[in-house]
Structure 1
Amino acid sequence: MGSGNGYEVDLSYLQQAVTQLQSVADGMDGTKEKANYQTNLTPGQFGGEGFLEAQTLYGAHDAMKTDITNMIGTLQSMIQEFQGKTSSAHKAYSDQETNTAGGFNKGMS
């Protein structure tokens, strides 16, 4: 908070938040790929035909894999949305700072 009636926004913190959010979203790509493609199991891996619950376990595994992939996608969307809003706020504050400085310099001439 600046002195007087105004306020001060540290634009470097906003930019840092945008960068960190992008890093988190990018890091989730690998996790999403692993959940979707590297957790494949066959029905036989849950037991042979003599194990009555094998098909049920396989179905539950497949459903969970889909749910995890969808959750990661939702988190990525939320992060992208928040990142976009943070970027917009950064731009708005930066533009306001530029306009204020320009108006101040005009008044000094």
Structure 2
Amino acid sequence: MGSSEEYFVDLEALDTVGRKLNGVLRSMEQAKSKTGHSTYLPKGTLGQGFKEENELNLAHDQMKAYIEDNILKLLQDLIHDLSEKTKKTKDAYHDREYDVTNALNPGGK
């Protein structure tokens, strides 16, 4: 890099960040699927006929919903947003680099 007027953006690094964010997003989707299907607590699993049975089942269902809606969904939305913004940023810098290259080399010379 030369003068303070110059800048450099590593488009490959932005692309790598985007790919990694998409990988995290896929992992989050798997985690959300697991909470939806692998944490099912059938009635009677913890026993039957005791005073706190309904309260315990309700607490489980509420915690499961909280994890799905307030943790996994929000994280998934955040990661998706970061991924989209990273892609847009990379594309904008790529387009700008293309414009500058063409301005400096008119006619492809």
TM-score scaled by length of structure 1? 0.90
Q: Which runs of 4+ in 1 moved over 6 A?
A: none
1:101 corresponds in structure 2 to 101
Instruction: Let me know the Cα RMSD of the aligned residues.
Output: 1.7
1:76 corresponds in structure 2 to 76
Q: Which has the higher contact order (CA 8 A, sep 6+)?
A: 2
Residues 41-61 of structure 1: CA distance to partner in whole angstroms, max 9, x if unpaired? 123123221x21111111110
2:18 corresponds in structure 1 to 18
Larger deviation, residues 22-31 vs 99-108: 99-108
1:52 corresponds in structure 2 to 51
Aligned-residue sequence identity (percent) comes to 32
1:28 correspondence with 2:16:
no
Given that 2:102 and 2:108 are in contact with CA atoms closer than 8 Å, whether structure 1 keeps it comes out as no
Given that 1:22 and 1:80 are in contact with CA atoms closer than 8 Å, whether structure 2 keeps it comes out as yes
Larger deviation, residues 35-44 vs 83-92: 35-44
Question: Which sections of structure 2, spanning at least 5 residues, go unmatched?
Answer: none
Given that 2:11 and 2:93 are in contact with CA atoms closer than 8 Å, whether structure 1 keeps it comes out as yes
**Aligned partners of 2:108, 2:52: CA distance in 1, in Å?**
81
Question: Which sections of structure 1, spanning at least 5 residues, go unmatched?
Answer: none
TM-score scaled by length of structure 2? 0.90
Question: When the two structures are aligned, how many residues end up with a matched partner?
Answer: 107
